[in-house]
Amino acid sequence: MKRNIFGPICKNIAKTFTISTLLLGVGGIVSTTQADETCMSPYMAKIVGQEDFVYIWTLGVEGLGDGQDKLVTVDVNPNSPKYGKVIETLSVGGRNEAHHSGLTDDRKYLWAGGLDTNKIFVFDVHTDPAKPTLNKVITDFVSASGGVVGPHTTYALPGRMMVTGLSNNADHGGRTAMVEYTNEGKYVATHWMPTDENLNGAKKSGKYADGYGYDLRALPRRNVMVTSSFTGWSNYMMDLGKMVKDPEAMKRFGNTVVIWDLHTRKPKKVLDVPGAPLEVRCAWQPNHNWCLTTTALTSKIWLIYEDDKGEWQAKDVADIGDASKIPLPVDISLTSDDSGLWVNTFMDGKTRYFDLSNINAPKQTYEKQIDKQVNMASSSWDGKRVYYTSSLLANWDKKGDDNSQYFKSYVWNGKELDEKFSIDFNALKLGRAHQMRFGAYSLYSKKKPEMSEVKKVASITKQ
């Protein structure tokens, strides 16, 4: 299977809080209307409307600009005179393999990890949302966690940040854990992924219990966390062309999704999802007890669902493009009403939209080539805007003229994407644009919004 899958690469080398506007009772501070990524934690307030900023966690490139990883802030409010422009960059020193980031549940701080150095950079994005500052750097992730390497997903739980690891410091393989912190950055606990040798009470439902980790999402109504799996440091820091020619390296990919008890942090069930399941997105609607993931190596959409007996199961429900051509699915973005799924494929640079009217048989209804390569997608809560970035990993991005690095903004009218602006990160000497998080003149900001309408509301609707 692996020979057939990777040959072409070698050749080509919430419903939880829905608020339109919000009045903060203490101090009478009022927020603007704004939007948020639909992939964010359900413990964070979701505010619909127009976002003001996108923060892009960006990999430094040696010899390009200052060569450092940085947080790049782009003004994305069409009513702003700086619309479509980079308004701030904040370099953090060195190259850390900048990858994923996530906001705390109070939306005050953005945690951003480095897969190589294991540093976690904590940015203040609330004091002045247009100009984030570096609040602190967590440097003892490996020692505090008991050997976890590669901080990946930084995910908000009430008063906590759960950080998934990709690897370990014993063999730099895929065996790893989740690491729990307080919002203030104090280590709480390490939760190791279940393996054949130590299932830690989990039920092994199929062939695999590999102990690999990657992404994390929560479905609080069902008291569930869902984690996926990828590969360890030895693979993700290796050149892609070299890796796919290495038979041993190609054996080192995860094949599992784990169902966890959200409250006790204990694994409940290990599901077989072969082919390196990456991003996990869980349904927002209260009658939808399911999550979705895609497999990088086999180009499929997988449904992770609770059956009629209350048991969690996994099944592949759709193909993504032509698997024989190795599109390499990467990021996905679920609409807030659970009606559609954006799926990006790195190798062909395309984004695809799947209609989820029948969740057991998603149907592709649209596709568009964003550029020569594409990685991340972030859609607004109202579904009207989708943003794209380009970089996968420093050693996995394409080479030469194919190494397009950008941030692009589109409007989605339900039938097609209309590009509004594009920022060339190579031309501006910023680096490799990776993951995005949205920002706004937040509830706690002292700065008054100039362009956005401000309204008071009488009530806040919670699920």
Query: Is residue 449 in a domain?
Result: no
Helix locations, 113-269, DSSP H: 141-145, 233-236, 240-244
Helix (H, G, I), strand (E, B) or coil at 122: strand
DSSP states of 355-375? E-SSTTS-EEEEEEE-SS---
Give the tokens for residue 359. Answer: 């969740």
Element of type H or E holding 227:
strand 224-227
Q: Give the per-residue pLDDT at 323.
A: 87
* Number of compact structural domains in the chain: 1
The fraction of the chain above a pLDDT of 90, given in percent, is 83
418, pLDDT greater than 70:
yes
Query: Is residue 454 in a domain?
Result: no
Distance CA 430, CA 60 (A): 7
Q: Which residues pair with 344 in a beta bridge?
A: 351
Q: Give the per-residue pLDDT at 13.
A: 38
Query: Is residue 32 in a domain?
Result: yes
List pLDDT tens digits, range 296-318.
999 999 999 999 999 999 999 99
Q: Give the per-residue pLDDT at 372.
A: 98
Query: Is residue 450 in a domain?
Result: no
Question: Closest by alpha carbon to 50, among 461, 440, 336, 460?
Answer: 440
Angle (nearest 5°) at CA 405 between 173 and 417: 110
Query: Is residue 452 in a domain?
Result: no
Looking at per-residue pLDDT, the higher value among 34 and 52 belongs to 52
Query: Is residue 92 in a domain?
Result: yes
CB atoms within 10 A of CB 179: 25
Banded pLDDT at 49 (limits 50, 70, 90): confident
Banded pLDDT at 326 (limits 50, 70, 90): confident
Query: Is residue 444 in a domain?
Result: no
Query: Is residue 26 in a domain?
Result: yes
Banded pLDDT at 151 (limits 50, 70, 90): very high
Predicted structure pTM score: 0.89
Question: Closest by alpha carbon to 138, among 160, 111, 164?
Answer: 111
Four-point Cα dihedral 429, 373, 168, 206, nearest 10: 170
Q: Give the per-residue pLDDT at 440.
A: 83
> By residue range, what is the domain housing residue 370?
2-439
Question: Closest by alpha carbon to 284, among 22, 33, 41, 104?
Answer: 41
The domain that holds 69 is classified in CATH as 2.130.10.10
182, pLDDT greater than 60:
yes
Distances (CA, A) of 21 to 56, 107, 159, 218, 455: 25, 15, 23, 25, 6
Give the tokens for residue 451. Answer: 């362009």
Q: Give backbone dihedrals phi and psi of 368, rounded to 5 degrees, phi first.
A: -150, 135
30, pLDDT greater than 90:
no
Give the tokens for residue 393. Answer: 């990993």
CB atoms within 10 A of CB 120: 24
Distance CA 90, CA 249 (A): 35
Residue type, 53: F
Mean pLDDT for the stretch of residues 378-400: 96
User: Is there a contact between 275 and 296 (Cβ–Cβ < 8 Å)?
Assistant: yes
Distance CA 385, CA 354 (A): 16
